[in-house]
Structure 1
Amino acid sequence: MRFSVILLSLAASALAVPAAQSPDLSSYALTRRADPSLTGYLGVFFLGDKPSVYFYLSNGNNAISFKSLNKGSPVINPTQGTQGVRDPSIIAGGGNEAGRKWYIIGTDLNIGRTNWDAAQRTGSRGIFVWESTDLINWTGERLVQVEDTTAGMVWAPSAIWDEAKGQYLVHWASKFYPASDSQHKGSPSAIRIRYTYTKDFRTFEAPQDYINKSPTNIIDLDILPLGNNAYARFMKDETAKTVFTEVSTNGLFGTWTRPAGASAIIASGVEGPAVYWDNQVAGKAHLLLDFYGSDGYRPYESTDVTSGRWTASDRSGFPKNLRHGSVLPINATLLAAVSNKWA
């Protein structure tokens, strides 16, 4: 369940299409240059029945080879709510915070203290938040409620900087019960993706639906900016237990289509898609998929994100049993600081 905002220089050209029509992806030429200022990757994950935030650092500038930090112990242990955090997402500051602030947000859920049915009916309606100015010191822990009492839970929060609005678009998955069912004992709505905007991860606008494919249950959204107001988004069909992708060439609220076909999927029996660009190979992206019934995250890759085609990557350098999280490309200064602190 879980977007790292990557402030990179992107160059692209897009075929303009009317909002009512599906974009012609065959005419959409994406060219993204590699960024020599980025020399590594920081990954944040949780580990199965251990609902804390664990840090992993890439081996050099290899996007799919990681080592544990802090001697395998968590870097962040939540103290509020259920005292358990899942689906951590690391978010780079946007706007005036670019390059000097980062956030980690996550799901308030300790399954060891509840069960899956209760967690969805009367689970936490808040988002865990921590912030840092150096990727080393994480402070300001807070649990911010974003949904009202009709919601059963708030799962897999993540965010992306919306340049046009000048705020962070934050999204998560929730299901809802009638106001008359205050105990949430009846039948809920389908799970849908909700969104809001914030400038500081302290105050949020009233949430609204972002993706509602009822009666299909949708969770675990992650979004990759492609440049020129184009985006690829990845989500889990919780009903079919599959992950699929959609692409928009006209904005975060534009026309979204599945590039490989209306029923195309990337993989089944997976969740928690986490996507990020490669630092060295132009146009190449990486996608982590959590095989939740097996050994956790496995890496996939694509050199044509808008095609919807992804292939399994070499797993020899990727640790097993990492669960839903995110990856942030970082520069040499941050890489050295993180390594010196925890390696």
Structure 2
Amino acid sequence: MRTLSSSEKGETPVSLTRRDFTRLAAMSALTAATSGATVLGAPSAALAANTAYVFAYFTETPNQSGANYGLHLAVSTDGLNWRPLNQNNPVVTPTAGTLGLRDPFVLRKQDGTFVVLATDLNGTDFGQNNQYLHVWDSVDLRSFTGYRRVRMHGLATHTWAPTAFWVASRNQYAIVYSANNGTDVFMVNYTSDFRTVSANEVYFSPGFGVLDGDVVVDGSTFYLYFKNLSNGLVYGARSSTGAANSYTTYTSGLRQGSQMEAPLLIKNNSGNEWRLWGDSFSPVNNDYYAWTTSNVGANSWTALNQRDFTPPLNAKHGSIVGITGAEYDGLVTRWGLPNWVRLKSYNLPDRYVRHADNIGRIDPYPFDPYQDQLWRMVAGLADSAGVSFESVNYPGRYLRHSNYAVRLDANDGTATFRADATFTRVAGLGNSAWSSFRSYNFPDRYLRHFNYLLRIDPLSSSSSTTDREDATFRVS
């Protein structure tokens, strides 16, 4: 093991166990139950099943007005649709190094607590060299302690996109990250106390440049998903030992959109499904895509429709970990859910309701100003049993219809305005699990999009499927 120099003390490594903590906890509990012995080092949460998820990320938008390089958190009960915490503001920000982070990685350690590991990079200056990672400890992700930076190597290169996992045969954690030793490779350091790390060594170098490795251990198999820099596709490799240079690629290349990076592999809490997330290459493009499979070892990934998932607002290159119901409640209590909503189109699920030049419309996300899609869904101005949509970035202005077209206008205090800006929320006309919004003063008409513009039109059960789907939205 390499002991940190005096200049590095207090800047130590992280140690993480992988996302399928639920499986590890269950195995530990089963071993204890069947052997009658105490399981040393078993997670303290072993008796509490994970029923929710937390997503860690940083944020960017096309013109970078929404860029923030602190640690952001979002929560979900289904692992697909996410609600940011702390109004999508960071919950903690680095105070050393570049004073910013990218690629945060949150995992549960063997003792049941959490640790956060992140790239030390503030912004998009990818040409700079940095040998360090940011690290925090956390009992429950409601507070963060022991902040330090960890020096992982002495090379004139970067230290990007960390992932980490428990290697039982070594009784240590492996920390894997992207670096360059003449070509882009994955390096690894091992640690058992998170205060010292072994010397770095090449972990995966398949003969072409690689980036953004993510390793998940399932049973006796180690799965490594990564981006192939030569063709921009995401691939999966596996190993029976997890040892350096022991992986064999077993999948064909995956991609949605123009380019992909930052593969994120997770087994869902019920244990019957795997999901693979991929980040877009640029904030100009859609932020996330996803696949699903019931057999992670079978090269049989199915792309999810974007209506099936909603990433956190402006999220980039994150990580996901399962949490218990009590931990979910604790996070919501500590950080709070958003006081705004977004409206996602059902049949054009890459598009969200927004205002632009005071016109209501749906546009592909992401866009700037990103606040144009944020709404305070308040009690209806004309009837408190209904709802009205107040703009977040233009307080006092509401979506209302005028000559059946939907605009963003200032509340003039009249009864007509209040009625025009009030809608009744009902089960989605195109999918009852989603929502539709019936006009208060023209109750045969519903809010819908047509040629990407919002309007209110007469709709009923006999309307076409397209018309009903045009009037269906997810409130998230």
* TM-score, length-scaled by structure 1: 0.78
In the other structure, the counterpart of 2:114 is: 102
- Mapped contact 2:163–2:215 kept (Cα < 8 A): no
Selected match of 1:132 from 138, 142, 160:
138
Are residues 1:90 and 2:106 paired? yes
126-135 vs 150-159, which moves further: 150-159
Are residues 1:226 and 2:218 paired? yes
- Distance, in Å, in 2 between the alignment partners of 1:167 and 1:129 is 17
Residues 305 and 133 of structure 1: is their aligned pair in 2 closer, same or farther, counting only changes over 3 Å?
same
Report how far residue 334 of structure 1 moved.
Answer: 1.1
Residues 36 and 286 of structure 1: is their aligned pair in 2 closer, same or farther, counting only changes over 3 Å?
farther
- Distance, in Å, in 1 between the alignment partners of 2:230 and 2:156 is 19
> AA paired with 1:265?
G
Are residues 1:8 and 2:13 paired? no
- Distance, in Å, in 2 between the alignment partners of 1:323 and 1:210 is 25
In the other structure, the counterpart of 2:290 is: 299
Report how far residue 200 of structure 1 moved.
Answer: 3.0
Selected match of 2:277 from 285, 288, 299:
288
Report how far residue 252 of structure 1 moved.
Answer: 4.3
Structure 2 unaligned segments of length 5 or more: list them. Answer: 1-16, 28-46, 61-66, 337-476
In the other structure, the counterpart of 1:21 is: none
- Mapped contact 2:162–2:178 kept (Cα < 8 A): yes
In the other structure, the counterpart of 1:272 is: 262
- Mapped contact 2:165–2:175 kept (Cα < 8 A): yes
SS of corresponding position for 2:253:
coil
SS of corresponding position for 1:172:
strand
- Distance, in Å, in 1 between the alignment partners of 2:130 and 2:206 is 23
Are residues 1:243 and 2:227 paired? no
Residues 242 and 77 of structure 1: is their aligned pair in 2 closer, same or farther, counting only changes over 3 Å?
same
Q: Deviations over 1:199-227 (max 9, x none)?
A: 2332111111100123x111111112221
SS of corresponding position for 2:297:
helix
- Distance, in Å, in 2 between the alignment partners of 1:274 and 1:164 is 24
Equivalence map 1:131-170=2 (5 Å): 131-148=137-154, 150-170=155-175
Are residues 1:194 and 2:160 paired? no
- Mapped contact 1:63–1:286 kept (Cα < 8 A): no
Q: Deviations over 1:275-319 (max 9, x none)?
A: 111113x43111110012312122221111101221222433413
In the other structure, the counterpart of 1:25 is: none
- Distance, in Å, in 1 between the alignment partners of 2:186 and 2:245 is 16
SS of corresponding position for 2:230:
coil
In the other structure, the counterpart of 1:341 is: 334
Report how far residue 248 of structure 1 moved.
Answer: 2.3
- Distance, in Å, in 2 between the alignment partners of 1:276 and 1:315 is 18
| Larger RCO, structures 1/2 (Cα 8 Å, 6+ apart) | 1
> AA paired with 2:74?
Y
> AA paired with 1:203?
T
- Distance, in Å, in 2 between the alignment partners of 1:258 and 1:191 is 17
- Distance, in Å, in 1 between the alignment partners of 2:174 and 2:229 is 23
- Distance, in Å, in 2 between the alignment partners of 1:124 and 1:254 is 24
Report how far residue 175 of structure 1 moved.
Answer: 1.0
In the other structure, the counterpart of 1:328 is: 321
SS of corresponding position for 2:334:
helix
Residues 64 and 194 of structure 1: is their aligned pair in 2 closer, same or farther, counting only changes over 3 Å?
same
- Mapped contact 2:18–2:217 kept (Cα < 8 A): no
- Mapped contact 2:102–2:317 kept (Cα < 8 A): yes
Q: Deviations over 1:217-271 (max 9, x none)?
A: 11111112221x11221011123222110122344458432324xxx21216111
- Mapped contact 1:82–1:108 kept (Cα < 8 A): yes
Residues 44 and 80 of structure 1: is their aligned pair in 2 closer, same or farther, counting only changes over 3 Å?
same
> AA paired with 1:9?
R
* TM-score, length-scaled by structure 2: 0.57
In the other structure, the counterpart of 1:18 is: none
- Residues matched between the structures, number: 288
- Distance, in Å, in 1 between the alignment partners of 2:279 and 2:84 is 18
> AA paired with 1:276?
I
RMSD: 2.2
